[in-house]
Structure 1
Amino acid sequence: MTLTTLTVFARDGFELRAQRGGPKGAPTLVLLQGQANSHRWWTGLRERFEDSLSTLTIDYRGTGGSRGPVEEWTTDTFADDVADVLGYLNISSAAVYGTSMGGRIAQKLAISRPGLVSALILACTSPGGELAVERSTETRLSIARAEPGEGRRVLHDLFYTPQWPGTPERSHLLGDPTMSRAEARAHLRVSGRHDASAELGQITAPTLVLHGDDDLMTPAVNAERLAEHIPGADLTTYPGYRHGFFEELADEVTAEIRNHLVVHGILPEPALV
């Protein structure tokens, strides 16, 4: 299905690009990608929802078509951008599915604008602050010390299991290659400085937390802590899977998310055949 690209100006005048797919008039599912990635993160994934949901993606500042001055952005900044795009489209309520840094942004959106988020899905993400368990020194060094040309392979191994048939060159999850160093560093700070640890109890949206239990990028204990501190949250973990489990297990994860949306009245009950 063809995407419609929109230009929306954020409250501070920053020019954002957003993309819509799926049927008009259907409930909206906002898809929030990981750090240093544009909407292309969702290639091959968003289509799985678009039979019954209208999808909305946004190129974060510094990615894709959303380019401008590089400043000290935060997850609050990006959450405000999501709210501004929803406001521009006159969408008063939407389900929000955030992965990795997108899950951090989704937390902030659900905390600051509870009426805007009808349901929340948080995948391979962290609460930040005192509740967060960071990746190991070994994992950080493996990324930082990758030889030139080897960075995508190192990330690929952290995202996917050895059984995954894809290659680093074919993955859409390993970063936006058009980003400048300044933009990439700004995104690193956005993710690293996120802290919703003291605010998770304010989330009122029905929440589903998803995580691969062999995730070295964001250890799975972070999912447990999110589920413990968000009222009524449900938790599903996928044994043996890594940071990109939501792509590697796309059929299973899509079904889990759809069921969450049905249970909480976002989607109708599937018709009996």
Structure 2
Amino acid sequence: MNANQDHPERLLDINGIKLCVQTFGDPAAPALLLIGGAEASMDWWDDDFCERLAAGGRHVIRYDTRDTGRSTTFPPGAPPYGNDALFDDAVGLLDELGIAAAHIVGVSMGGGIAQRLAVRHPGRVASLTLIATSPGGPGGPDRHDLPPMSAELAKRFAEDGDQTPDWSDREAVIAYYTDGERTFAGTIPVDEERMRRIAGRVWDRSPSPASAQNHWQLDGGEPVRARLGEIATPTLVLHGTADPLLPYGHGEALAREIPGARLVPLEGMGHQMPPPELWDIAIAEILSVSSGERP
């Protein structure tokens, strides 16, 4: 399915830049904002995943964060903004769309943005879903008590260094993203054909695919771990049991520190978007927490 045929993309002026946005479902339904991880355009929120959430009675919104996809990009290696700019963009997007409060779903870095939204703008967050993320900022002092990445992944990082593809070579970029999925996946086999399709679409939609690497140079933003106890909105934590970057203990910590949070293990998932094998669980849980239902 090509969602672009039925769900046209829009470029919105937000915070002095343009953000590319796409929506699914009835605009009058409760809004559900999807926030991607570092280096990830909105393409990683699979079309069918978004359609299934919309079929559950949600107005689903996905967007290219700055420096990804069709949103404004900056020269690779020189991002003139920090991590909090990504937070401000999410708030600005809600403002531009006229949405007072939305159900927020964030994955990895997007989960960090979602936590800051819930702490700093609690009235804008109707429910909170945190996927493959952590209460501690990257490398910061607030994650000293959390489990480190797997020894195998640390070894891979040490051996590979900062290797990146020729960003002008579509096939090389597809191989780079597909290999990255294998690196961060858990025990569920990677569907390489699906990954190549998504990665090809990422390249096709990105005038400056190298700019997405700017996300790795950002500061961690304002730490909020000490304030997680203030979160009163219904919260769901979805975390892979085989996450090599942020082991399962990170999800357990979030569930402990956010009052009333529900922790749901995603068996065999690594540090990644929920693969199709887990959609039945993930989608049902997201629709449940965003309906106000409690287990």
Query: If the length of structure 1 is used for normalisation, what is the TM-score?
Result: 0.84
Give SS of 1:16's match.
strand
Quote the Cα distance in structure 1 between the aligned partners of 2:265 and 2:105. 16
- Of the structure 1 ranges 159-168 and 72-81, higher mean CA displacement relative to structure 2 is found in 159-168
CA contact (8 A) 2:36 2:42 kept: yes
Of the three residues 79, 87, 90, the one matched with 2:95 is 87
Quote the Cα distance in structure 2 between the aligned partners of 1:153 and 1:21. 27
Deviation at 1:141, TM superposition (A): 4.1
For 1:214, give the aligned amino acid: A
Aligned equivalent of 1:60: 65
Aligned equivalent of 1:214: 242
User: Between the two proteins, what is the percent identity of the paired residues?
Assistant: 32
For 1:73, give the aligned amino acid: Y
CA contact (8 A) 1:156 1:174 kept: no
Quote the Cα distance in structure 2 between the aligned partners of 1:210 and 1:19. 24
For 1:213, give the aligned amino acid: T
Is 2:3 aligned against 1:4? Answer: no
CA contact (8 A) 2:103 2:127 kept: yes
1:80-119 paired onto structure 2 within 5 Å: 80-119=88-127
CA contact (8 A) 1:75 1:108 kept: no
Decide whether aligned partners of structure 1 residues 10 and 102 sit closer, same or farther in structure 2, where only a CA change above 3 A counts.
same
Structure 2 runs not aligned, ≥5 long = 166-171
State the aligned residue count. 263
Give SS of 2:20's match.
strand
Of the three residues 155, 164, 168, the one matched with 2:180 is 155
Aligned equivalent of 2:233: 205
Decide whether aligned partners of structure 1 residues 90 and 175 sit closer, same or farther in structure 2, where only a CA change above 3 A counts.
same
Quote the Cα distance in structure 2 between the aligned partners of 1:107 and 1:175. 29
Quote the Cα distance in structure 2 between the aligned partners of 1:173 and 1:246. 16
Quote the Cα distance in structure 1 between the aligned partners of 2:201 and 2:185. 12
CA contact (8 A) 1:36 1:176 kept: no
Aligned equivalent of 1:139: 153
Is 2:30 aligned against 1:23? Answer: no
CA contact (8 A) 2:68 2:209 kept: no
Quote the Cα distance in structure 2 between the aligned partners of 1:192 and 1:139. 21
Quote the Cα distance in structure 2 between the aligned partners of 1:240 and 1:4. 34
Structure with more of its chain in helix, by fraction: 2
Aligned equivalent of 2:168: none
Is 2:244 aligned against 1:226? Answer: no
CA contact (8 A) 2:177 2:199 kept: no
Quote the Cα distance in structure 2 between the aligned partners of 1:176 and 1:154. 15
Is 2:282 aligned against 1:253? Answer: yes
Quote the Cα distance in structure 1 between the aligned partners of 2:89 and 2:152. 34
Of the three residues 62, 81, 85, the one matched with 1:73 is 81
For 2:180, give the aligned amino acid: L
Quote the Cα distance in structure 2 between the aligned partners of 1:125 and 1:115. 22
Give SS of 2:66's match.
coil
Deviation at 1:236, TM superposition (A): 0.9
1:31-70 paired onto structure 2 within 5 Å: 31-43=34-46, 44-51=48-55, 52-69=57-74, 70=78
Aligned equivalent of 1:124: 132
Aligned equivalent of 1:270: none
Quote the Cα distance in structure 1 between the aligned partners of 2:201 and 2:221. 19
- Of the structure 1 ranges 184-193 and 47-56, higher mean CA displacement relative to structure 2 is found in 184-193
- Of the structure 1 ranges 44-53 and 238-247, higher mean CA displacement relative to structure 2 is found in 238-247
